[in-house]
Amino acid sequence: MDKLIPDPPQDFTTPLEDAIRIDDQVKNREAIKRALDFYLCPTPAKPYQPSTMFLVQPNIDTESLLAHACESLASANVMASDFADQLSRPQRNTAQAIQQIVMLAELAVSRALDRIDPQS
Domain that holds residue 17: 12-45
Contact 76, 95 (CB under 8 A): no
If one compares 111 and 45, the residue with the highest pLDDT of the two is 111
Domain total for the chain?
Answer: 2
Residue 77 lies in a domain: yes
Our measurement of the distance from residue 78's CA atom to the centroid of its chain's CA atoms, rounded to an integer in Å, reads: 33
Tallying the residues shown for the chain, one arrives at: 120
Residue 4 lies in a domain: no
Task: Report the C-alpha gap between 95 and 87 in whole angstroms.
Answer: 8
pLDDT of residue 1: 62
Residue 29 lies in a domain: yes
Residue 99 lies in a domain: yes
Compute the C-alpha angle 87/93/99, nearest 5°.
95
Task: Report the C-alpha gap between 102 and 75 in whole angstroms.
Answer: 10
Task: Report the C-alpha gap between 103 and 79 in whole angstroms.
Answer: 11
pLDDT of residue 117: 72
pTM of the model: 0.50
Same domain, 34 and 78: no
Task: Report the C-alpha gap between 71 and 77 in whole angstroms.
Answer: 10
Same domain, 67 and 110: yes
